[in-house]
């Protein structure tokens, strides 16, 4: 049981964590701070936080657990803002979708206090953002990836495992590097392709008419294109090296298919489609990630 959660970033992810922690009876009080006072005020009026803090530093004051749930580009400034009140006993976590840049920012900003920080990425979310969409069930039954480094204190890693497990998550540990490589391929690239596809269609004169004819396959394929632009701008720039590597691989595969189509090479085309179809049929999402 924690005495006080210091929540920095009272949006979808942070608000959902606060609600889940409260519902599980794991925290007595939530003190929250967001960039706009109106967001912090809304979080309090919705019962997501109990007390509004006027700064990130004051949200951390007196907290034994801190969650940083801001856009990844704001993480380093947040670490700098709170570093004077970080204690060796405190558990600090984030929820950022990229991990190498967050860990580098923590190394630069937290320095000798970095042991209190356990980097975390919940594989949960929605296409909508904002505290009004905060949901105490958001994390239940989902995967959470922790990417501790050699300097992360073991007791904090265990606390992080315990708290996410208590919220019904399946906890997995990996290095920040392997996290970013994997998610460039299975999350960041699919978003990039979905954004490019929507722009490619809507950029045509008849784009609107084409869209009016689209069916369930198109709906499923493009669901993630409705994601938050600010968040995805940050993720793509933060993980640019891995994302561009994956994008090049994808382009090579696209070109191979295009060549077969332009040559009318039906057998080769069928074989490549067959490979993809078989790989998709063999893949099943871990039930913890629904």
> Interface with ligand NAP by CB under 6 A: which range of 124-132, 146-154, 197-205, 209-217?
124-132
Three-state SS at 111: helix
CB 272 within 8 Å of CB 257: yes
- As measured in angstroms, the least distance from the Cβ of 134 to ligand NAP is 8
Among 61, 129, 140, 170, binds ligand NAP (CB under 6 A): 129
**CB nearer ligand NAP, residue 78 or residue 159:** 78
Q: Is 231 near ligand NAP (CB under 6 A)?
A: yes
Q: Is 13 near ligand NAP (CB under 6 A)?
A: yes
> Interface with ligand NAP by CB under 6 A: which range of 64-72, 147-155, 167-175, 260-268?
64-72
Nearest of 194, 99, 83 to residue 145 by alpha carbon: 99
Q: Is 80 near ligand NAP (CB under 6 A)?
A: no
| C-alpha–C-alpha distance, residues 153 and 257, integer Å | 49
Q: Is 29 near ligand NAP (CB under 6 A)?
A: no
CB 44 within 8 Å of CB 32: yes
Q: Is 36 near ligand NAP (CB under 6 A)?
A: yes
Q: Is 78 near ligand NAP (CB under 6 A)?
A: yes
- As measured in angstroms, the least distance from the Cβ of 38 to ligand NAP is 7
Q: Is 39 near ligand NAP (CB under 6 A)?
A: yes
**CB nearer ligand NAP, residue 224 or residue 269:** 224
Which parts of 66-215 fold into alpha helices (H)?
A: 75-82, 100-110, 154-166, 176-183, 189-202, 207-212
Distance of CA 194 to CAs 85, 221, 225, 239, 275, Å?
A: 42, 7, 5, 17, 22
Distance of CA 265 to CAs 13, 18, 274, Å?
A: 48, 56, 14
- As measured in angstroms, the least distance from the Cβ of 59 to ligand NAP is 9
Q: Does the CA dihedral 153-159-164-170 come out positive or negative?
A: positive
Instruction: Rounding to the nearest 10 degrees, give the CA dihedral for residues 177, 180, 183, 184.
Output: -120
Q: Is 238 near ligand NAP (CB under 6 A)?
A: no
Q: Is 35 near ligand NAP (CB under 6 A)?
A: yes
Looking from the CA of 16 toward its CB, the CA atoms found within 13 Å total 20
**CB nearer ligand NAP, residue 168 or residue 207:** 168
Among 70, 90, 92, 105, binds ligand NAP (CB under 6 A): 70
- Summarize as ranges the residues that interact with ligand NAP (CB under 6 A): 8-14, 34-36, 39, 56, 69-72, 74, 77-78, 95-97, 122, 125-126, 129-130, 231, 235
């Amino acid at each position: 049981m924690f005495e006080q959660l210091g929540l920095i970033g009272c949006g979808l992810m942070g608000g959902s964590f606060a609600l889940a922690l409260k519902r599980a009876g794991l925290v007595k009080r939530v003190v929250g701070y967001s960039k706009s006072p109106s967001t912090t005020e809304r979080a309090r009026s919705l019962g997501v936080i109990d007390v509004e803090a006027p700064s990130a530093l004051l949200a951390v004051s007196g907290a034994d657990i801190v969650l940083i749930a801001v856009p990844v580009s704001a993480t380093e400034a947040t670490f700098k803002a709170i570093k004077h009140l970080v204690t060796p006993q405190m558990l600090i976590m984030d929820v950022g979708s990229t991990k190498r840049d967050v860990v580098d920012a923590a190394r630069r900003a937290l320095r000798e206090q970095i042991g209190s920080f356990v980097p975390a990425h919940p594989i949960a979310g929605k296409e909508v953002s904002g505290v009004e969409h905060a949901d105490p069930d958001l994390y239940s039954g989902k995967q959470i990836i922790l990417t501790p480094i050699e300097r992360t204190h073991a007791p904090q890693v265990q606390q992080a495992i315990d708290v996410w497990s208590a919220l019904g998550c399946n906890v997995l540990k990996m290095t920040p590097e392997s996290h970013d490589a994997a998610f460039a391929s299975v999350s960041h690239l699919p978003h990039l392709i979905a954004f490019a596809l929507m722009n490619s269609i809507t950029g045509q004169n008849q784009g609107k008419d084409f869209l009016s004819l689209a069916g369930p396959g198109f709906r499923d394929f493009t669901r993630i294109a409705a994601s938050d632009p600010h968040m995805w701008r940050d993720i793509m720039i933060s993980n640019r090296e891995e994302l561009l590597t994956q994008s090049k691989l994808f382009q090579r595969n696209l070109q191979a298919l295009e060549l077969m189509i332009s040559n009318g090479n039906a057998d080769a085309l069928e074989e490549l489609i067959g490979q993809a179809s078989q790989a998709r049929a063999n893949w099943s999402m871990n039930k913890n990630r629904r």
